[in-house]
Chains A and B, each alone.
Chain A
């Protein structure tokens, strides 16, 4: 077995031997050296010659990259880092003291204040606005371009998120609708009542036994009247929107109408805080859609183009690794249409619609091949037996 990888001019080839008995499977391990940053693309292939070379190789891509880059924009001028609107977000993503980063995390946060937005946002996968009102008009324009280009924008509410302070965001269509004001819970806290259980953000919370979002309590929220093209993903008990999504160009804007710190809630102390934050960011960075490297197999009916072939296809912000189905290793006989589905092949026109009778016979395994002569031999033997019974009749006339 050979593993060949290349990233630009850099190449890597590793070989391993394995002996497999017929019908058995075996795992093989390639010990990779530390890889330089970049997308390492290549194949794993079996070095044998046979009549079907198509299934002797598999395409792979290994991405040696930094975690998803998340820009945390703090809308509050806090004197202490503990009072910053992004303090708990940063801690939950970094999982290490400020300035350090846990090596296993999926997201790498960068904290900035609202008046220090970086000039270039394209190195970030997602921008998070936390209690950020008064976004400068130029910054709002750059944020809009970032989202239009496919970036994710996640917005949390707060005291600063009011109608007049979000005017620049509204002009760039970065609001989920109309920001009416702030709704404070007078007696009972605001609790989530319902959410779209089919949405990827809530996929991890499909079983209330493993995380019931109704336990989270909030003392206030930004009152939003969703736009016609916005989708309300979750509501509070009184029906007010809690999570709203709106598409903008290639990207999406997700608004969580309450705060992400302890201003309006104690939820940063809840065990559900980190899971929900990760679910929101996983959605906005594309992690839940498959991440930067996605795989597909040519099998049966796929949503890939009809001319899709094994290989590495560049998608919008990701690579799609297309391989033939592992089911090719099944050696049992099968009808032609099943074989076609198994490999995602296209038959030539004359073979595209197999005759129903032939398919039925094939599925029973009773079809004959041209070289079969056994039926003529059987007929000859029968004739000889009949002749023998006539010739060998010795009874007297």
Chain B
């Protein structure tokens, strides 16, 4: 992702990322020199050997952002699958769970 486009992308993630984390990240990127109103939007001050260097906090937040997105994607893709009703259960409860389901089925029929 180009940093120039990053500002639009992060604002678009209004759904799916924890709100506090999103705000914290935007604040940090602003401190690092990003502004949606500026052209170019990035005005990083910190350079090492001629390369721009992002603040350390930026890396931590990006990592948390990435984990949050990954969790959301997993939930969307696997959430329904894991709730499919065929969960394994401890063997000592097998018989009881079967009877519980039979009871619910008969109650539903009434």
Binding site for B on A (CB under 8 A): 82, 91-92, 94-97, 102, 186-189, 204-205, 209-212, 214-215, 217, 237-238, 266, 269-275, 278
Residues of chain A with a CB closer than 8 A to B82's CB: 214-215, 217
Say whether chain B's binding surface is mostly helix, strand, loop, or mixed.
Answer: helix
**Residue contact A215 to B103, C-beta cutoff 8 Å:** no
With an 8 A cutoff between CB atoms, is B15 at the interface? Answer: yes
Which chain A residue has the least Cβ–Cβ distance from B74? Answer: A188
A91 pairs with B75, CB closer than 8 A = no
Shortest CB–CB separation between residue A137 and chain B, in angstroms?
Answer: 36
B75 near A189 with CB under 8 A, answer: yes
Closest to A268 in B: B104
Contact between B100 and A270 (Cβ–Cβ < 8 Å)?
A: no
Q: How far is the CA of A275 from the CA of B82 in the complex (A)?
A: 17
Q: How many residues of B contact A (CB 8 A)?
A: 28
Q: 10 A-B Cβ contacts within 8 A?
A: A95-B99, A95-B103, A102-B99, A204-B90, A210-B89, A210-B90, A211-B88, A271-B89, A271-B101, A275-B97
Complex CA distance for A274 and B87, rounded to whole angstroms: 12
Question: B106 to chain A: which residues have CB within 8 Å?
Answer: 97
Q: A271 and B83 in contact (CB under 8 A), knowing A97-B106, A97-B107, A237-B71?
A: no
Using known A-B contacts A205-B90, A274-B97, determine if residue A91 contacts B71 with beta carbons closer than 8 Å.
no
How near does chain B come to A111, taking the closest CB pair, in angstroms? 15
Contact B83 A211 (CB under 8 A): no
Q: How far is the CA of A187 from the CA of B14 in the complex (A)?
A: 11
| B73-110 vs A, Cβ < 8 Å mask (1 yes, 0 no) | 00100010011011111111100110111011011000
Q: Assess the A204–B79 pair: CB atoms within 8 A.
A: no
